[in-house]
Amino acid sequence: MTMRQLLIAVLLSTLAAAQPAAVPSAQTAPPNPDAEAGYQHVKRRQFASAVKRLSAASTREPENMQLRMDLAYAYQAVKKHGEAEEHFRFVASRPGPFQAAAAAAADEAARQAAGAGPEGAKRRARLEQAYAAVGRGDKIAARRAFQAILAADPKDAAARKQMGYLNFEDGRYADAAADFEAALAVEPNDHVTALQLGYTFEYLKKREQARASFTAALRSGDDKIREAAQNALQASSDGGSPAAPL
């Protein structure tokens, strides 16, 4: 699933809960017609129109954090990452059920905004060089390119994971584990990397950490990853040798 598809899924999943009630009562606020229209635009995937109406709705209800979150997601859907980050930061500054998610989303919006500028173009060029080097078996050039990306952004999860694979292949398991852990700190729901980290811990004979990583990988929605994690857990419990990484 691409980032855009994920944003669309998040927006659509809020429709039932977020649309204003059709009939106000003495205990509830009156319906917000802009919010209602905005969510209808989201449902039809008309995100530019959704931004306009949700923005107007948020102006009417500035302390409605769910509405502001959905506005931020709509901004991301039209690739206005700076505006999205601004609204996510606002929600993250307010205690409540959306605070943690907003903080994480704000960081992602900031990374997307940075990726849209000259530095982002430079990163993409370096990634292309690095992957090309991997493809032709030039580990030295690949390592140099990934290190250049990480020098500019130590939290670049893609480059960090690739450094992990390079270190693993070179038998530098402690370095590989540190790389995979750093990547997971940025993308905690990356179950493939959790699985790789488990294999790496096995080579380091850190069985408890390995089992924790394999257990995390079991939360994947991918059947193959879950099967691999289950098999790795069984092998670890039996004291067998670790499986080869994916």
Residue from 62, 64, 39 nearest 52 by CA: 39
Mean pLDDT of 9-32: 45
Q: Between these two residues, 163 and 158, which has the higher pLDDT value? A: 163
The pLDDT assigned to 32 comes to 82
pLDDT score, position 27: 41
Comparison of pLDDT for 9 and 128, the residue scoring more = 128
Hey, what are 224's tokens?
Answer: 């193959």
What SS3 string covers 59-83? HHCCCCHHHHHHHHHHHHHCCCHHH
pLDDT digits (tens, 9 = 90+) for 78-127: 888 888 888 888 888 888 888 888 888 888 887 777 666 666 677 778 88
Q: Is the pLDDT of residue 160 over 60?
A: yes
Separation CA 46–CA 11 (nearest Å): 12
Query: How far apart (Å, rounded) are the C-alpha atoms in residues 123 and 32?
Result: 43
pLDDT for res 30: 57
Q: Is 183 helix (H, G, I), strand (E, B) or coil?
A: helix
pLDDT band at 6 (very low <50, low <70, confident <90, very high): low
Given phi > 0 = left and psi -120 to 50 = alpha, else beta, which region is 244? beta
